[in-house]
């Protein structure tokens, strides 16, 4: 099943809607959707390595705008939507602790969440709910998300088809590693919130 999903994602590179799909995935992942855009970014960049940086740019823009949408959810719709999203990811009971992280680390909290597998959407929504400085939030998001996606683009642009062959050959192992890193991201957040 995962192999079919991987092949389906790789086929987006030949779709006239691939760029929009990448933008939409990056946007929604930053505010509520659980699947990170890295998978589609990698697939598209591997299929046309000369456009790696273009795809990283689209992903970065979509992700930052999605983060702004998450911020708006937290700022204006916390009661209606925000708590439900936090609850879905198991962070509703840690709400005050996230607030203390913002008071202590401000932009660093957003930056770390934006660059690592920590669920970024939790930090975008709570940033709005706690009314952290909007421009600090946008700059930290833009720097961290762009760094994450452009590092992938650099690696793909540099190593191209050898990376694709590596992924094809070790797809199952890489899938397990990715899931483990994602789970570890959630665990790290929960440990720091205890």
- Could you report the per-residue pLDDT of 27-82, keeping only the tens digit for each? 988 888 777 788 788 888 887 888 899 999 999 999 999 999 999 999 998 888 88
Supply 189's token pair. 């957040």
Average pLDDT score over residue span 137-153? 89
Residue 193 has pLDDT above 60, yes or no: no
Q: Is the pLDDT of residue 129 over 60?
A: yes
Two structure tokens written together for 136 = 């600090």
User: In the predicted model, what is the mean pLDDT of the chain?
Assistant: 79
Please spell the DSSP secondary structure of 136-191, one letter per residue.
Answer: HHHHHHHHHHHHHHHHHHHHHHHHHHHHHHHHHHTHHHHHHHHHHHHHHHHHHHHH
Highest mean pLDDT among 9-23, 79-93, 129-143, 148-162: 129-143
Higher-confidence residue: 47 or 189? 47
Report pLDDT digits (tens) over 78-120: 888 888 887 877 777 777 777 777 777 777 777 777 776 677 8
């Amino acid at each position: 099943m995962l192999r079919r999903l991987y092949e389906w994602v790789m086929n987006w590179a030949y779709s006239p809607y691939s760029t929009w799909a990448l933008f939409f995935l990056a946007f929604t992942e930053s505010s509520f959707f659980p699947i990170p855009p890295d998978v589609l970014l990698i697939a598209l960049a591997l299929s046309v390595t000369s456009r790696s940086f273009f795809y990283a740019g689209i992903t970065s823009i979509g992700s930052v705008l999605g983060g702004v949408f998450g911020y708006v959810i937290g700022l204006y719709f916390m009661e209606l939507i925000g708590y439900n999203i936090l609850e879905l990811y198991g962070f509703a009971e840690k709400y005050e602790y996230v607030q203390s992280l913002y008071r202590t680390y401000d932009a660093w909290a957003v930056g770390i969440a934006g660059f690592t597998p920590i669920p970024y959407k939790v930090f975008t929504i709570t940033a709005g709910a706690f009314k952290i400085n909007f421009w600090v939030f946008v700059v930290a998001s833009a720097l961290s998300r762009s760094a994450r996606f452009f590092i992938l683009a650099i690696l793909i642009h540099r190593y191209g088809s050898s990376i694709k062959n590596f992924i094809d050959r070790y797809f199952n192992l890489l899938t397990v590693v990715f899931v483990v890193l994602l789970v570890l991201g959630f665990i790290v957040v929960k440990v720091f919130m205890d």
